[in-house]
Structure 1
Amino acid sequence: MAGVCKIEIRESEVELKQLLGQAKTGSEKERLQVLYLLKTKKALSVTHAAEIVGRNRVTLQNWLAEYRQGGLSKLLSKKVSTGRKKTIPQWAEKALEKRLKLEEGFNSYGEICQWLESKLGRAANYKTVHRLVHYRLKASPKIARLAQRRTVSEKD
Structure 2
Amino acid sequence: MAGVYKLEITETEADLKQRLGSQKTASDKERIQLLYLLKTGQATTVQSAATLLGRHRVTVQEWLRLYRRGGLTALLTHTPRTGRRQSIPLWAQEALNQRLHQSEGFNSYGEICQWLKTQLGISAPYKTVHQLVHYRLKAAPKVARPVSVAKSEERVEAYKKTR
Q: CA deviation at 1:54?
A: 2.8
Q: CA deviation at 1:124?
A: 0.9
Q: Report the residue type matching 2:142 in the other structure.
A: K
Number of the residue aligned with 1:91: 91
After alignment, is 44-53 or 59-68 more displaced? 44-53
Instruction: Give the Cα separation in 1 of the matches to 2:127 and 2:21.
Output: 47
Instruction: Give the Cα separation in 1 of the matches to 2:125 and 2:8.
Output: 55
Number of the residue aligned with 2:17: 17
Instruction: Give the Cα separation in 2 of the matches to 1:5 and 1:52.
Output: 15
Number of the residue aligned with 1:81: 81
Instruction: Give the Cα separation in 2 of the matches to 1:141 and 1:50.
Output: 52
Provide the alpha-carbon RMSD of the alignment.
2.1
Instruction: Give the Cα separation in 2 of the matches to 1:91 and 1:29.
Output: 39
**Percent of residue pairs identical:** 60
Q: Report the residue type matching 1:52 in the other structure.
A: L
Q: CA deviation at 1:106?
A: 1.7
Q: CA deviation at 1:19?
A: 0.4
Number of the residue aligned with 1:28: 28
Instruction: Give the Cα separation in 2 of the matches to 1:136 and 1:142.
Output: 16
1:25-48 deviation per Cα after TM superposition (whole angstroms, max 9, x unaligned): 222222111111212233222122
Number of the residue aligned with 2:54: 54
Gaps of 5+ in 2: 148-163
Normalized per residue, the structure richer in helix is 1
User: Would you identify which runs of 4 or more consecutive aligned residues in structure 1 move more than 6 Å?
Assistant: none
Number of the residue aligned with 2:63: 63
Superposition TM-score, scaled by structure 1 size: 0.82
Q: CA deviation at 1:80?
A: 2.9
Query: How many residues of Structure 1 are paired with residues of Structure 2 in the alignment?
Result: 147
Gap change, CA 1:70 and 1:105, over 3 Å in 2: same
1:121-146 deviation per Cα after TM superposition (whole angstroms, max 9, x unaligned): 21112221122112222222233xx3
Give the greater-gyration-radius structure (CA): 2
Instruction: Give the Cα separation in 2 of the matches to 1:106 and 1:126.
Output: 14
For the pair 1:130 / 2:130, whether they are aligned, the reply is yes
Instruction: Give the Cα separation in 2 of the matches to 1:96 and 1:24.
Output: 38
Q: CA deviation at 1:14?
A: 2.1
Q: CA deviation at 1:2?
A: 2.6
Number of the residue aligned with 2:102: 102
Number of the residue aligned with 1:153: none
Which structure has more RCO (C-alpha within 8 Å, separation ≥ 6)? 1
